[in-house]
Amino acid sequence: MRMANKTTAEKLATIQQGYTLQGATIELGAAIVDGEVHKEAQVRLPLAMMNRHGLVAGATGTGKTVTLHMIAEQLSTAGVPVFLADIKGDLSGLATPATGSEKLTARTSALGQDWQAKNFPVEFLSLGGDGNGIPVRATITSFGPILLSRIMDLNDTQESSLQLIFHFADQKNLELIDLKDLRAVIQFLTSDEGKAELAELGGLSKATAGVILRELVGLEAQGMEKFFGEPEFDTAELLRTAPDGRGVVSCLELPTLQTKPLLFSTFLMWLLADLFEDLPEAGDLDKPKLVFFLDEAHLLFNDASKAFLDAITTTVRLIRSKGVGIFFVTQTPKDVPADVLGQLANRVQHALRAFTPEDAKALKATVSTFPVSDYDLEETLTSAGIGEAVITVMNEKGAPTPVALTRLRAPESVMGPSTDELIKSTVASSSLLAKYGTAVDNVSAYEKLNGQSAAPTGDAAPGLPPVPSSVGVPAGSSQADIDAEARRIEEEILGRPSSRPASTTPESFPEPPAPLPVPQQAPQDSGMFGDIAGALGGALGGGLKSMVRSMGTQLGRDLMRGVFGTSSRRRR
């Protein structure tokens, strides 16, 4: 809908007034009004509102990746750590200064941008070491049954049964570290030896356990075993700043995304769920602790179960109070469920196509999500050029800013991949390489059930992922150095006392951790806990819910781990 009979000056005044903000901001670009760029009408996003989440949408090739690249640069400069899922490998260019040109100077000058070539502090990560980056792994027990069911494409009954299997392993102290551990537990339960244990679980049939086992073997056949194991990645690593105060940009790649899209998107939710469980309440902050960009967001929601969608919705709603902003990056807003879309206060909408009836329907739906404006949005969204977007964000008073067609600023680092040599040298010099670079295989469910011993590895601090004793540790670094840095991250960044021992020398053994308090039953309307309990209620199968009621607080400690049923050895 368009408001008629306003002059260009009046439209400009509306935008200028709407984007005059008091605190620190992310500068997005200059408004386009009546076909002309007006650098006196700057469009910006309040830094303090970045944790109100956002959406970057648009058709393929309209500049979404460049937009999040440009926003990530400014967040880093403001001291805010950033997480990027680098689907195409283009975002690695953040580590390399861009090269200026006359064309670039003309564009940036017209926008009022004082452009300077820069590079930014980047940490390259890769799932399970698949690609160039520090390996990111999760243990099976930490990943939890709901997320694992998503990867295995289990139905609701099978998902509920998998939760029973996790419960059994928890009760019997059978550590589920990697896929072979879970396979060993299921094989035991379906064997003659485990027949009595299977019967005691009640809601788990041998036939369903067999189906889960076959799906698990299928995951192993696809080579997914390398994504699960130890050392498990500590998501506090995503909250670091560089020595010069800039936020570290953590860039996660999976070169084989095309063959494992579900794994990639589900792993991103595990990272978010783990952060959600670890971070303390933060209230209103001048700037977020972390901004998390979820590229190819439609992969998260395609064919997702209600339990999974409920858990995502709860995470998005509650994690902002812990200082984390999430930006979903996808083609159209209809890729995101309405309950999630309603929580995304900051919108950057690139051009849409209207070649088919389905495209036209998506266009109308997108227009309906914007406030009334001075633009004919159906026309504007189909004619916007590359590097232009329709924007509305939340201002510092919590109200939407005027809709503005915006020519976006140019990134100051390379819009494309960095060289392999730079990426490899960055990884080789990373302080994380010693902690996560080498996989270890400690005694867990597989070894216990098969009466075997695992290969020796370095001792792990109580409740923490083990670290190889001699592989990959740079000269001059000791386990004490690594532990000291881990304590600093927990105490300074996470804002909580560290549970890590001050020393691992024989003269100073750490005290055993205090037992966790038994959670008390809270009423349904008890704020955040009520929301989490609601999500879990939808996620747990009927047989498992009745078992929770009957078995009381011990099961509550073992099983009610997080919104996705996730758990971490760091928290247990």
List, in sequence order, the alpha helices (H) in 386-478. Answer: 420-428, 433-436, 445-450
CA distance 349 to 333: 9
Residues 428-445 as b/e (b if ≥16 CB within 10 A, e otherwise) read eebebbbbbbbbbbbebb
- Distances 205 to 190, 195, 196, 445 between C-alpha atoms, Å: 9, 10, 12, 21
Q: Determine the angle formed by the axes of helices 206-221 and 156-171, rounding to 10 degrees.
A: 90
Longest dimension (CA), the chain: 82
| End-to-end Cα distance, the chain | 54
Beta strands in 270-398 (DSSP E): 290-294, 324-330, 346-349, 388-392
Dihedral class, residue 463 (left if φ above 0, else alpha if ψ from -120 to 50, else beta): left
DSSP assignment of 466-498, as one string? ---SSSSPPTT--HHHHHHHHHHIIIIIS-S--
The answer to whether 76 and 50 are in contact (CB under 8 A) is no
Beta bridge partners of 122: 249
Burial class of 297 by CB neighbour count within 10 A (0 to 12, 13 to 18, 19+): buried
- Tell me what pLDDT residue 229 has: 94
Residue whose entry in the numeric block shows the structure tokens 């395609």: 302
Residue indicated by tokens 């990560």: 125
Return the amino acid letter for 325: G
Among residues 449, 550, 538, 540, the alpha carbon closest in space to that of 200 is found at 550
**What residue type is 269 in one-letter code?**
M
Tell whether omega for the bond before 417 is within 30 degrees of 0, i.e. cis: no
**Exposure of 170 by Cβ count < 10 A (0-12 exposed, 13-18 middle, 19+ buried)?**
buried
> Splitting the chain (572 residues) into consecutive groups of 10 residues, what average pLDDT does each group show?
72 95 95 95 96 94 93 97 87 94 94 95 92 92 91 88 91 93 93 88 85 90 88 95 97 77 85 90 91 86 81 89 94 90 94 86 89 92 94 94 96 94 95 94 92 48 36 44 56 53 41 37 39 42 39 34 62 46
Sign of CA dihedral 487, 515, 537, 545: positive
Residues 345 and 42: their CA atoms lie apart, in Å, by: 19
CA triple 437-438-439, angle to 5 deg: 125
Using alpha carbons, select from 185, 178, 168 the residue that is nearest to residue 143.
178
The confidence score (pLDDT) of residue 295 equals 81
Residue 451 corresponds to which tokens in the numbers above? Answer: 């009466």
CA dist., res. 177 & res. 169, Å (int): 11
* CA–CA separation, 535 and 540 (whole Å): 9
Which structure tokens are listed for 466?
Answer: 């083990």
The predicted pLDDT at position 166 comes to 93
pLDDT at 86: 83
Rg (CA), the chain: 25
Neighbours of 502 (CB within 10 A): 12
Q: How many beta carbons lie within 10 A of that of residue 175, not counting itself?
A: 21
pLDDT at 549: 35
Q: Which of these, 486, 121, 126, 80, lies nearest to 278 by C-alpha position?
A: 486
- How many angstroms separate the CA atoms of 215 and 207, rounded? 13
Give the model's pLDDT for residue 362: 86
Q: Which long-range contacts does 359-365 make (Cβ < 8 Å, 24+ apart)? A: 362/332, 362/334, 365/332, 365/333, 365/334
CA-CA distance, 499 to 559, in Å (whole number)?
22
Ramachandran angles phi, psi of 222, nearest 5°: -85, 0
For 208-238, the DSSP string reads HHHHHHHHHHHHHHTTGGGGB-BSPP-GGGG
